[in-house]
Amino acid sequence: MAGITGALLAFHDELDEAFNHQLVNVPPQNAPLLPIARLHDNVIQTYPNYSFSSLPVIIAPNKSVVFSVDRSRDKSKSAAKPLFQEVYVNPYSGKIIGTRDKEAWRVQNVMWKVFWLHRELLLGDVGKLLLGVVALIWTINCFIGFYLTLPRPTKTRQNRAKKRASLLKRWLPAWKIRTKTNTFKLNYDLHQAFGLWLWVIFLVIAWSSVGFNLKQVYRPVMQAMIGLEEKQRKADKPQAKAANQPKGNSKKPQAMPTDDKHYAVTKANSVTYLSQQAAVLAKDRGVIIQKPLGARWDSEEKAWQLRFKTNKDIGQKGGASSITVDAKSGVVTRSHFGDESAAAEKTDQWLSSLHMGHIGKDAGHLAYQLFLALVGIALSVASGAGIYLWNQGRLQRQASKRRELIKTRYPQSPVDPHAEAPSPQHYKAS
């Protein structure tokens, strides 16, 4: 199941757009595209009860602009869940095309259901823990399976002397798949050869899955092996502030600044200003900005944040670069480039990026998507072949037990190895 869903998730964005073509696609028009700030104003005016602190940074002429609803920090059961998570806006007119509730069971959410099936079997924390344990067993099994493909040591001295220098030659058949053979040997070759040819990527996916679903095992192991440090959670600051505030005083997030008198960076010029500052810092560091990923207003720090990908970054998530700019002064207060990360953190970023397919650009990215989809299919085939081999072995053991039972009860009668065991009624009658 993880292999099949993983093959689909390699093209998550493309397939998700196909299922939501009515919301995503906008016919090109002979009209200028509206500014992001104007589109954002239309959204917050239409939905005043929701917060939209993130801004899209790229507007395509044939695509709608998507605004995401802020996640609620109130995790209590009494907190009302939003009716939707995304708002789609026409970039030419600013009109709302529609909203989307990703949690609803609809055709438009097929790929998100596939994602949560892949991530936690649609069972929440229980499914996440279960798949984490499975991933841990799979990681260990990668090393066991690799060992089992190695040639067996020869027993006699003559054979040992002849075959000592031909270890690789004796190991070579394990890498091949025989096509002109019976079903059992074909499944055996598929199971073994796929496990060898794709051993490295299988191990990467297995261990990164432990990192996603079983952090209580992943973090200590990575810390002991490569010195991976625990990430500091930014959520600790708001919790500490909330603890000092009197109960019942729920402060609403501050809206984005829209006037130029008191703020150097406003909603209207935020994306342009942040992109310029990022370009200056990137030039000083000798890196090239490939594309911006998203802008966000931080109401607590009263600052703007921009995430972007450079030519030296790993992936588009944890390994991406970012800057933070104070809204009033316009000064860059904080910056982080992906190549500044420690070696241990880069290793962790590589594992997650390889697993999720956030590798490469343009044609290179498409090639890795195809490779990752084929890996998912190969994993499913290898798993199916392994189940078939296990079942054949089980049937063979049962047949051996039946033959032993016949020999015990009828020691003088010839035994047909292919004959079925007598029924229980036969034993009872005799």
pLDDT in tens, 77-110: 656 788 999 999 999 999 999 999 999 999 999 9
Q: What is the pLDDT of residue 245?
A: 44
- pLDDT > 50? residue 325: yes
Question: Percent of the chain beyond pLDDT 90?
Answer: 67
Tokens, residue 74: 């109130």
Q: pLDDT tens across 403-413, in order?
A: 888 888 877 65
pTM recorded for the entire structure: 0.82
152-161, 174-183, 231-240: least confident range:
231-240
Could you report the per-residue pLDDT of 215-245, keeping only the tens digit for each? 999 999 999 999 888 776 554 444 444 444 4
Residue pair 196/146 in contact (Cβ under 8 Å)? The answer is yes
Distance, in Å, from the CA atom of 356 to the CA atom of 9, rounded to the nearest integer, reads: 8
Question: DSSP label at 63?
Answer: B
Query: What is the arithmetic mean of pLDDT over 285-305?
Result: 93
Decide if pLDDT at 170 tops 90. no
Which stretch of 65-69, 78-82, 217-221, 269-273 has the lowest confidence by average pLDDT? 78-82
User: Strand order of the sheet with strand 303-310?
Assistant: 54-55, 289-298, 303-310, 321-326, 332-336
**Mean pLDDT on 2-29:** 94
Give the residue from 298, 376, 411, 415 showing the smallest Cα distance to 55: 298
Asked if residues 296 and 53 have their Cβ atoms less than 8 Å apart, the reply is yes
Give the chain's mean pLDDT: 87
| pLDDT band at 187; cut points 50, 70, 90 | very high
Higher pLDDT among residues 230 and 425, named by residue: 230
pLDDT grade, residue 420 (50/70/90)?
A: low
Check residue 107 and give its pLDDT. 92
Spatial contact of 70 and 40, defined as CB atoms under 8 Å apart: no
Alpha-carbon distance values, 217 to 36, 214, 220, 230, 360 (Å): 43, 6, 6, 13, 29
The two beta strands, 86-89 and 96-100, are: antiparallel
Give the pLDDT band of residue 317 (cuts 50, 70, 90). confident
| Mean pLDDT score, 299-318 | 90
pLDDT at 4: 95
Predicted local confidence at residue 162, as pLDDT: 57
pLDDT attached to residue 240: 40
pLDDT at 387 over 50: yes
